[in-house]
Chain A
């Protein structure tokens, strides 16, 4: 006898339902703006947004801005991750350092990072580096806390076992601490990549000459709602694609983990 829990329909059916939700959303939007219940000036129309997006891709203008945002995201992610791993290890292995810096780390982490954007723009100019810096401040703390936790949470038995098997401190780092810390980093990968992107787009929005955030800001400045929605659409597609890529990487790298605990930790 099977349990009475409701069984979910098969995968193609679910995909079809998900597609249905998307179509329904655009349909409702279309009907509401077409009948003028919602003003097309403030809400755009799905047809115009799709046409604009298509035109941007067809003419190739959008690729340059996408490229800039992607570059900023990638740089923020890599720099933030490397710094987070290095500092996470250092703090976890040096208790005095971690105790002394603890209140400051918490204070900086509690600061809403958006307020740093103007400062970074002043320091680093309106080019990509002020956006990368903003992304780094977001990514760094996620990775830092995860690595710190990962190193601290290494099972003392696993550690003692490795030492009994003759592991030197270098071996312990390579075979025990690093894999443990990396598993925590990978499980926060979605959040980290997302924040790298937030840093890039918010930075662009607040002052730049290129990128998706810049495009949205420009459109907003001339009350071009269709342009704003088109920018959001491109951003959404872009995020979904990156997220799918991260899921694939995660599956490859964390295959040693039991499935039920592979959820995010952060």
Chain B
């Protein structure tokens, strides 16, 4: 038992992901090269990197959706083979089932676990109100705004009580105000039962404002982890206000100094492609 408690919630060991080139000939493409990191139980870790640096690839390995070419992922000491049962995943793109109402979307995870439909719907109701969508249960995804759909997705992920939450730029499609509100709400929800979070973003400010630790990924192809910064800002935080504090600005300056070069490299490569 003591050993299990000591094992990190998530551990990636030398993960390399190589994809064959799309046309089947030519050179293969290495998205991530030898990535190793751990996420402790209850820790909020952000991974920042320029676009095309394989951030989502690492998350897919952690989720068990993608088998790495080399290396392995462990969750609470167990190697991840197939879908990681300890993990919940919030996708960047729309992932709700469009043919299910908001309530049924939230209830889906419980139904998949063998809970009866009636009971699952009953247990989904309080989750809808927790994400501020009381009374919207019978709406279909297309009848909700982008922010509301993200809330449904959040409730859908949290209802099955995952020990690790993987988030792939979940709020990148939202406008700034909605986004900051969602970020605060996520921090509140996280504070109540401290799950591990791996949060992927290309927005450094978002990463610092929310995390315990920020990992910096180099520009792809063959992206590597090149930096690690501990964010010892006080909690609870307000993501809008914390951006004004001198500590935040100092951290931002320090990490940006490293990230900027990678962003420029990444930008140069997208121009070449």
Chain B residues in 8 Å Cβ range of A35? none
Chain B residues in 8 Å Cβ range of A258? 142
User: Which A residues contact B (CB, under 8 angstroms)?
Assistant: 155, 157-158, 160-168, 171, 175-176, 179-180, 183, 255-258
Minimum CB–CB distance from A64 to chain B (whole Å) comes to 41
- In contact, B95 and A158 (Cβ under 8 angstroms): yes
CB<8 Å pairs between A and B, sample of 5:
A164-B88, A171-B112, A176-B97, A256-B101, A257-B140
Minimum CB–CB distance from A148 to chain B (whole Å) comes to 18
Alpha-carbon distance between A255 and B98 when the two chains are bound, in angstroms: 11
Residue with the greatest number of chain A CB neighbours at <10 A, chosen from B89, B97, B160: B97
- In contact, B112 and A162 (Cβ under 8 angstroms): yes
Chain A residues in 8 Å Cβ range of B17? none
Contact of A158 (CB < 8 Å), options: B88, B97, B111, B112? B97
- In contact, A160 and B112 (Cβ under 8 angstroms): no
B91 at the interface (CB under 8 A from A): yes
Chain A residues in 8 Å Cβ range of B108? 162, 165, 167, 175
B188 at the interface (CB under 8 A from A): no
Alpha-carbon distance between A250 and B160 when the two chains are bound, in angstroms: 34
Minimum CB–CB distance from B154 to chain A (whole Å) comes to 12
Among all A-B residue pairs, the 8 with the closest Cβ atoms: A161-B95, A165-B109, A179-B99, A166-B112, A164-B89, A258-B142, A256-B140, A157-B93
B113 at the interface (CB under 8 A from A): yes
Alpha-carbon distance between A167 and B160 when the two chains are bound, in angstroms: 12
- In contact, B99 and A180 (Cβ under 8 angstroms): yes
Interface residues as binary, B110-142 with A (CB distance below 8 Å gives 1, 0 otherwise): 011100000000000000000000000000101
Given contacts A161-B91, A258-B142, contact A166 B109 (CB under 8 A): yes
Contact of A167 (CB < 8 Å), options: B87, B88, B112, B142? B112
Chain B residues in 8 Å Cβ range of A161? 89, 91, 95-96, 153, 156
**Chain B contact surface mostly:** loop
- In contact, B85 and A166 (Cβ under 8 angstroms): yes
Alpha-carbon distance between A162 and B113 when the two chains are bound, in angstroms: 12
- In contact, A160 and B98 (Cβ under 8 angstroms): no
Minimum CB–CB distance from B83 to chain A (whole Å) comes to 6
B31 at the interface (CB under 8 A from A): no
B103 at the interface (CB under 8 A from A): no
B100 at the interface (CB under 8 A from A): yes
- In contact, B65 and A163 (Cβ under 8 angstroms): yes
Given contacts A157-B91, A256-B140, A257-B142, contact A163 B99 (CB under 8 A): no
B94 at the interface (CB under 8 A from A): yes
- In contact, A179 and B97 (Cβ under 8 angstroms): yes
Given contacts A256-B100, A258-B142, contact A160 B160 (CB under 8 A): no
User: What is the chain A residue whose CB lies nearest that of B156?
Assistant: A165
- In contact, A160 and B91 (Cβ under 8 angstroms): yes
Minimum CB–CB distance from B158 to chain A (whole Å) comes to 11
Residue with the greatest number of chain A CB neighbours at <10 A, chosen from B96, B98, B112: B112
Minimum CB–CB distance from A192 to chain B (whole Å) comes to 20
Given contacts A256-B140, A257-B142, A258-B142, contact A164 B97 (CB under 8 A): no
Alpha-carbon distance between A176 and B112 when the two chains are bound, in angstroms: 12
Alpha-carbon distance between A176 and B95 when the two chains are bound, in angstroms: 11
Minimum CB–CB distance from B244 to chain A (whole Å) comes to 36
- In contact, A168 and B112 (Cβ under 8 angstroms): yes
B63 at the interface (CB under 8 A from A): yes
- In contact, B97 and A162 (Cβ under 8 angstroms): yes
Chain B residues in 8 Å Cβ range of A155? 93-95
- In contact, B96 and A158 (Cβ under 8 angstroms): yes
Chain A residues in 8 Å Cβ range of B101? 256
- In contact, A160 and B97 (Cβ under 8 angstroms): no
Alpha-carbon distance between A168 and B109 when the two chains are bound, in angstroms: 11
- In contact, A183 and B99 (Cβ under 8 angstroms): yes
- In contact, A166 and B113 (Cβ under 8 angstroms): yes
Given contacts A165-B108, A166-B160, A175-B108, contact A160 B65 (CB under 8 A): yes
Chain A residues in 8 Å Cβ range of B156? 161, 165
Chain A residues in 8 Å Cβ range of B88? 164-165
Alpha-carbon distance between A113 and B253 when the two chains are bound, in angstroms: 72
Chain B residues in 8 Å Cβ range of A163? 65, 83
Alpha-carbon distance between A119 and B140 when the two chains are bound, in angstroms: 48
Chain B residues in 8 Å Cβ range of A167? 108, 112
- In contact, A160 and B142 (Cβ under 8 angstroms): no
Alpha-carbon distance between A50 and B138 when the two chains are bound, in angstroms: 49
